[in-house]
Amino acid sequence: MLGETSKWHLNYPPKNVESILSKSSENSFQVRKKIIKQAHDFSLYIHVPFCISKCAYCTYNGPHIQTFGAKEYVDCLIQEINWILKDFPKKNKVLSVYMGGGTPTILGAKELKRLINHIFTNFKIKKNTTFSLEATPYSIDKKIAKTLSESGVNRIYLGVQSFNEEKLKQVRRPQKIKDVYNAVKWLRQAGIQFISFDLLYDLVPNETEDDFLKDTLVHLRKLKPNTVSVIPLQHYDRYPEKIAQSYELNKLKPKRDSEYWRYKWLELKNILAIGYRASSYLWNNGQYTKIRSQPKSHSEYKQKVQTNNQEIYNHYSLSKKESLKRILIRHLHFPKIPFTKIKETFGEKLFWEVVKPIRQYISIENNLISISPEYNEILPFKTKNQQINYFILTFIYLYSKEAQDEILLRL
């Protein structure tokens, strides 16, 4: 199953085009500085690409932190933060902080505290900000829970994935049901009010929706997480409405402003990222810039950070039109995009020009732009997989010539 749909991921520009675009001679530090000066609000993303062990299904994982050293890695993160701070005008605010990976809790209580303190002491952080962190249930103990809460972390995204120990074993995830119960108990005792669960369905072959519900609902009722992200493994073509409905019917409906689905609308927000091979997503006057940390190995990352080597990053920027295409390709399906935001940033004229070839399938309801599934009728061929069909549509009608050429070369 793995790999079957991965090449149809709805990203734009595709990876090979990114590498061509990144061959710019401009210095990425200078580009970032310019954007930081012009924009006002940023979110911080801190990447910790290390895990206790490797789950069979996951592509995000890295080695154990022992290969790098928790103290050494936090030293590098602090140095990267200091580079940003040098360019960060006093008026700029940090709207939210998100630590992900990998497994950020692998850094341990002492190093997490040092890192989080550095962030709170040096950035002007918005009042009542959300400081989120991803964690595996089996990496949480009483001490970590207390440290996180005392340092200012107020949202935990707990990677529960499944409440079926047999399935967890099959995907080589060293997790027991009791780990989830303990993690939730210790986090709540420590004062963390917001706990969200990530759940994966299609985790093992032939899992039905009924199997999934049977494994899950009883525990959701007992543990009452604030939100749940139900994620289909690898492919994003069908959405588990039934699961969402059952969850709501059981009066565990999350708050309106919370992230019911994790894969939410993120575009047009400035995300400054730090960490080994992390990417920043920045917007300036409707133009998208991606800045990537590009070292090929941990030792290269460490060496470049320690020696202030500015070649640690590369970047590319898209024109306004290509930036709009990026948003549409990624979000016509889900999560949907607010039309007012698009008009404000790109102008209505450019929007209708870009969607012209598929205009008859575009609708705007309650200010959200979406595409009707009838687009299937103009595809030269279609498959049973909606994600692949959608890819074909965007490939033919929205991709730039360069992006199409690169993809065709790979096929």
Ligand X SMILES: C[S@@+](CC[C@H](N)C(=O)[O-])C[C@H]1O[C@@H](n2cnc3c(N)ncnc32)[C@H](O)[C@@H]1O
Picked from ligand SF4, ligand X, none, the partner binding residue 234 (CB below 5 to 8 A depending on kind) is ligand X
Q: Which is nearer to ligand SF4, 62 or 225 (CB)?
A: 62
Nearer to ligand X, 137 or 295 (CB): 137
Closer by beta carbon to ligand X, 1 or else 249: 1
- 64 vs 253, which CB is nearer to ligand SF4? 64
Q: Which is nearer to ligand SF4, 58 or 116 (CB)?
A: 58
User: What are the strands of the beta sheet with 155-161, ordered from one edge?
Assistant: 227-232, 194-201, 155-161, 125-135, 93-101, 41-48, 271-274, 279-284, 287-293, 313-317
Complete DSSP assignment for 261-329? SSS---TTS-EEEESTT-EEEEEETTEEEEEEE--SSHHHHHHHHHTT-GGGEEEEE--HHHHHHHHHH
- In the complex, least distance from residue 28 CB atom to ligand SF4, rounded to whole angstroms: 27
Instruction: State the nearest-atom distance from the C-beta of 73 to ligand SF4, in Å.
Output: 15
Site for ligand SF4 in 95-134 (CB under 6 A): 101-103
Kindly state the helix (H) or strand (E) to which residue 349 belongs, with its residue range: helix 348-354
| Nearest approach, Cβ of residue 51 and ligand SF4 (Å) | 3
CA distance 270 to 345: 14
Minimal distance, residue 28 CB to ligand X, in Å? 25
DSSP 366: T
CB of 304 to ligand X, least distance (A): 24
224: tokens are 């009452």
Does residue 151 touch ligand SF4 according to CB under 6 A?
no
Nearer to ligand X, 4 or 348 (CB): 4
Least distance to ligand X, CB of residue 58, Å: 4
By CB under 6 A, residue 54 contacts ligand SF4: yes
Longest dimension (CA), the chain: 58
Burial pattern 135-168, b for ≥16 Cβ within 10 A else e, equals bbbbbbeeebbbbbbebebbbbbbbbbbbbeebb
Among 14, 104, 159, 240, binds ligand SF4 (CB under 6 A): 159
Minimum Å gap between C-beta 60 and ligand SF4 is 5
Pick from 61, 154, 170, 376: which binds ligand SF4 (CB under 6 A)?
Answer: 61
| 86 vs 89: CA distance, rounded Å | 8
Beta-carbon count within 10 A of 112 CB? 23
Q: Which residues of this protein are in contact with ligand X, per CB under 6 A?
A: 51, 57-60, 101-103, 134, 136, 159, 161, 198, 200, 231, 233-234
Nearer to ligand X, 234 or 317 (CB): 234
3-state helix, strand, coil in the chain (%, to 5): 45, 20, 35
Q: Which of the choices ligand SF4, ligand X, none does residue 54 contact, using the CB cut-off of 5 to 8 A by kind? A: ligand SF4
Task: Give the shortest CB-47-to-ligand X separation in angstroms.
Answer: 10
Q: Which pair of structure tokens corresponds to residue 177?
A: 């049901």
Residues in the chain: 411
- Cα separation, 106 vs 140, in Å, equals 9
Burial classification of residue 257, based on how many CB atoms lie within 10 Å of its CB (0-12 exposed, 13-18 middle, 19 or more buried): exposed
Residue 246 near residue 323 (C-beta atoms within 8 A) = no
**CA–CA separation, 199 vs 161, rounded Å?**
4
Nearer to ligand SF4, 198 or 209 (CB): 198
With CB under 6 A as the contact rule, which of the stretches 51-59, 122-130, 327-335, 380-388 interacts with ligand SF4?
51-59
When the beta carbons of 58 and 398 are compared against ligand X, the nearer one is: 58
- Asked if residue 224 lies in contact with residue 193, where contact means CB atoms within 8 angstroms, the answer is no
The one of ligand SF4, ligand X, none whose footprint includes residue 233, by CB under 5 to 8 A per kind, is ligand X
- Site for ligand SF4 (CB under 6 A): which residue of 36, 48, 51, 145? 51
Q: Which residue ranges make up the site for ligand SF4 (CB under 6 A)?
A: 51, 54-55, 58, 60-61, 101-103, 136, 159
